[in-house]
Chains A and B, each alone.
Chain A
């Protein structure tokens, strides 16, 4: 039977199932196939808070959302057009996010009385008409898979477990995705158990064939490749990009990289990834706590390595005293904060951007540090290099903010040429720099205002540094009032003077009167909202900050060029506070702290209101 093929410009699919159903893997594979096809993509996983919540329950639902399109997209989509629900819990947990008319593919085998009761369904939603507004595709995924694998010498349980590959095969058929890389992937993943590999491949193919033959799918879809800049691409998550950026920083600086870290969600994956890259002279240390982690990183920096520590908000709180020490010692240190919802343990698997205040101000004394924020998964790579560049050049702690949304979300990344990456070569001090052959550890470079980096082992430069206030130039302990005043101001001034790129404004026809200013992971949703408004003929400008301290020098001028400035943040207005106090601009602060990224739709309607009133 030949099926009708329909063209779409954009599709959002959410794979949802029990934690044990392999939904993350299914989503990953679908994403990979989609990327091969040249669509632009954006993904967002949603992990259950518990490691092994009881099977079939609402807290045990794990999902993976992927958006793909024939144009460049900025977010994984506000709402899915397609939900794949592997059990009643997955249906129940996700239904509210679906617009009417969306496709729902359900695994009917799991809709047993017991499973329905477990999540509080009094009647079977597949039969009671409650899903009438949707396009429902009931598929007995488990039994079809088990039947398809009847000839394999594997247990029933193993056969059942391949149902996610059946679902993947079906979806690949439905959206005309290629499947070579999945077959190759399965061969590799189960290389040591060829029988399992074959069974999974067979399940995948059975799913594909099922689509081809069943009546329940009359139409097949295509999404044409997007126009993207030429080059080699790979799909990348923010955490992976941070790890690769740090490896690249080591290569480009020719320094050993030392990561001190203590496991914490959602930052642990950076530690896991970096620990695989020892061949690049990257040392990872899982320390006894966050304080030791940053201490060891600072000790490594003192010895001439690039010291890095990665954590989330609670860890940054513990590291504060050592970051202040790094401010006083004026040594390079990269601190990465993958933010999560707080306060306290908060919602560790949920996103938020409420650590900005802590990054900017969360230390004792006048302790200025550089603060940066990545705006998308792929941007994490560039920002890791930028953090290293500033830390190494200006001998200062740099706090780089990411968050759970971009840490686990992914997008295509145009792979850079190594030669185009910034040159991070450093020069260590080798000679005394003072009159009479003395070494002055706090005699500054006239341009960067950085002090010399004199690593132990350098003859003739023996010196002592520490957290006690130091006399200008000599670095000797000093309680002199005027010296302290001078040193405090110098530390502030040298950070403020670090050159950072001007902020650019996206204002296509130059007529906008309202500017939306963002930072961090809100880049995607804000951008998508602005585009939607422009498509409707409404002018709005977007500017996004990646440098939060020091701020771009042109920011004041940019802000004053607009009648209204709106600052959406996943906190209660932390950047807005800075902007208002620093530039005396009466910015509108728009906030949401639900542990979820903004949807483009909510920003669009909020901005529409603002536009009406200018």
Chain B
């Protein structure tokens, strides 16, 4: 039996073939921690008592969760991390305002195909979109990697996800993720890899792939991965980086296959209180789900394609009075581009608020918090109880187009009627 993508990448790096279920020890090509798990990581690193990092050039620190400097404790944590970076020679340091970690490492082309990338964040799996092995660990384990430069991994089983057809108007990677959540359910892919393939992937942008891989974590996946195809090669080419295409073997090893027909896929929404509680926008019918808030932000829906379609929908329209809208671009460079292209102006004229790049609204971190009887649509990845504030608050997850259209109407709305056919 041949290699799937993960086995292929790990075998190449180790210099020998690997078997599913086998335990390997490996040196990551890059690791990352941020201002949420970073303070605990450096505390535990100090508990180990090592006097240096195994390789400061392979360590990335990002200040994104509690930014900009939300509280006294948060700002003290940022101070600690800055000091740590200076003391141990970490130069890949992204300070307050630069953007959300998973977007930054891709935007700056730090993560590359075929790498092993480990970070203290569950959504590290996002980076699999670019054809690498990316997964999350906790702070103590990262502290141990900081000191030793190695991590143990069990070679996981892989589920093949074949995409056929073409993504339709108003439908994005987020909707593929929600469809898969509906099929697989939360925890349904525990410890497994979701590997994407099929002719349909050509219509899925790198941005959409990142949102999709990100949310595979909600299914319990150890990671998710796309082949390195023309879309990925083009993504890196625009950054002046050359990468080689990479595909699994024809007879790659999979435990099952799921087929998603993109031609049939509609914009989807996850209802409270689980990302797998999914309905399509067209199924909502006459029931009115009124919204106090609409959020476009986080690492699952605030990239260029998301903000662009949101601006297309909001242009010349107004956010409905009584509904607040918050837009948080994923990175500073993206925010600059959107400013130059008039996208930010469109948002402000439509009555939306625009905040500096950060995780903020994803988990009620200092903004977009909900009261007990309120509800919000968001491009975030989680709608668990109390994720955005009060335990009773309702969170609906959608793509950016749906969040924009819903802001105009003040209720859950199908975005397709706001999009031209071209």
Chains A and B form a bound pair: no
